[in-house]
Amino acid sequence: MGHGAIVAGREGEGFLPVAYCATLVVQSTTMNAALMSELFGGAGRYKALRCLYEEPARAFGTRELAAAAGIDPANASRWLRRWSEVGLVERRLERGAPVFQASRDPGLAALAQLLQQDTRTRELLAGEVDKLGDKVEAAAIFGSAAKGTSDAGSDVDLLLLTDLPQLKAQALFKAPGRALGRPVNVLAYSPSAWREAVRKGDAFVREILDSPMVPVKGDVRAAQA
């Protein structure tokens, strides 16, 4: 699926191109639910897609997705059928019944990142980061949670650019981890140490920068200079 591919539709079956989603990811790190609902053709469609892409390794039955997203099962059935036809979701049979999960097509990475900006994971982490105020210069989710390869048992990796000690930063995110039902692993760099690591071409830092990230505060990539 290329960058001109369709990614979601309005109730009248209009669609947004992947390239447009990529632009939105760059332009905003605080997409709100009302705006996202408008972009994806209604609150129901948006909630269903968000459930699918927040847990990309999870396969949903039609009624299971409807319950998780709080939408009508008939609408869920219709949308899943349409989305499987265009490649937004993958369909397979389990015990004779159809189940659906988010597409693993790399061409939809921008869509996945856009949807992840309003997930419960990001919301909980952003709330904790906001409490720290100017003690945190920038923050982002990285690793499997940002790549869309995590499952229910995966840790959430959070990068913080902060002068807080690593142990203290880690302790602050125990509560969000309990709420999510999975550990939050904090990687804390002081802003100066981060910039120095970037300047020296540190392999681990380079790997983080070259991989998908979900912004939580500021722009980690802009903090390279």
Task: Work out the average pLDDT over 163-167.
Answer: 96
207: helix, strand or coil: helix
Quickly name the fold that domain 119-224 has: Beta Polymerase; domain 2 (3.30.460)
Percent of residues in the chain assigned helix, strand, coil, to nearest 5: 50, 20, 30
For the chain, give the mean pLDDT. 83
Q: How far apart are CA 182 and CA 156, in angstroms?
A: 7
Summarised one tens digit per residue, pLDDT across range 104-157 is 888 887 787 777 666 778 888 999 999 999 999 999 999 988 877 776 678 999
Axis crossing angle, helix 62-69 with helix 43-54, rounded to the nearest 10: 110
* 125 HSE (CA, 13 A, CB side): 33
CATH number assigned to the domain with residue range 6-112, chosen from the 4 options 2.60.40.1180, 2.40.50.140, 1.10.3720.10, 1.10.10.10? 1.10.10.10
* 194 HSE (CA, 13 A, CB side): 23
Task: Work out the average pLDDT over 189-207.
Answer: 95
Q: What is the pTM of this model?
A: 0.65
DSSP state of 107: G
**Residues carrying CATH 1.10.10.10, the chain:** 6-112
Residue 81 burial (10 A CB sphere; 0-12, 13-18, 19+): middle
**Residues carrying CATH 3.30.460.10, the chain:** 119-224
Summarised one tens digit per residue, pLDDT across range 66-83 is 999 999 999 999 999 999
